[in-house]
Amino acid sequence: MKKIIFIAAALVLIGGAVGYYLYTKPSEFVSDGDPDFKMNLSAVIDESNKLKDGEFSTKYTGKSVEFDAEVESIIENGRSKTLVLKSGVEDFVVNANFHESNVEVLQKIVAGDKVKLQCECSGVTKPESEDDLLSEVVLNFTRCNLK
């Protein structure tokens, strides 16, 4: 009987500890490790144009992508920074956001630089109609890191 109570108590404690760890586990703000995709940025852009929105989202959203790109401009977003990347396509914007914890890596980056990035794809937004004020297609990446 005592053994059973001891084992039950141990399981509750372990379960509680695991639950507490999962609940308080901090987000990973930088994409690292092996990427889910390694491809040219132009290939990602092509896919975002060819695939239906849901298909692109299923394939890429939340996944890490390693790609080469050229920096068009750098924007300060509060404490984070965004690299606006050259897409080579009219009315197509590519944003790569670096979390505030990782902006130091961008100290020497300037417009015109060629970079290799690993980011998490957060999706693509498209205009809803021809007269939409938001007339650009925007491909967004977050948790970016320089490789």
Q: Residue 101 carries which DSSP code? A: G
Among the listed ranges 8-16, 30-38, 39-47, 57-65, the one in contact with other proteins (CB under 8 A) is 57-65
The residue among 94, 99, 92 whose CA lies nearest residue 83 is: 94
For residues 67 and 143, which CB has a smaller minimum distance to other proteins in the complex?
A: 143
**C-beta closer to other proteins: residue 7 or 17:** 17
- Smallest gap from Cβ 142 to other proteins, in A, equals 6
Please check whether residue 79 is in contact with residue 103, taking contact to mean a CB–CB distance below 8 angstroms: yes
Contact between 49 and other proteins per CB under 8 A? no
User: 93: buried, middle or exposed (CB in 10 Å: 19+, 13-18, 0-12)?
Assistant: middle
Both structure tokens of 75:
């924007």
- Judged by DSSP in three states, 143 sits in strand
Quick check: 10 binds other proteins (CB under 8 A)? Answer: no
Choice from 55, 75, 111, 116 touching other proteins (CB under 8 A): 75
Taking CB under 8 A as the criterion, which residues in 104-143 touch other proteins? Answer: 122-123, 125, 132-136, 138, 140, 142-143
Count Cβ atoms within 10 A of the Cβ of residue 28 and give its class: 0-12 exposed, 13-18 middle, 19 or more buried. Answer: exposed
Q: Which is nearer to other proteins, 1 or 23 (CB)?
A: 23
> Which ranges of 31-94 does DSSP label H, i.e. alpha helix?
41-50, 53-60
Binders of other proteins: how many residues, by CB under 8 A? Answer: 36
Which C-beta is closer to other proteins: that of 42 or that of 61?
Answer: 61
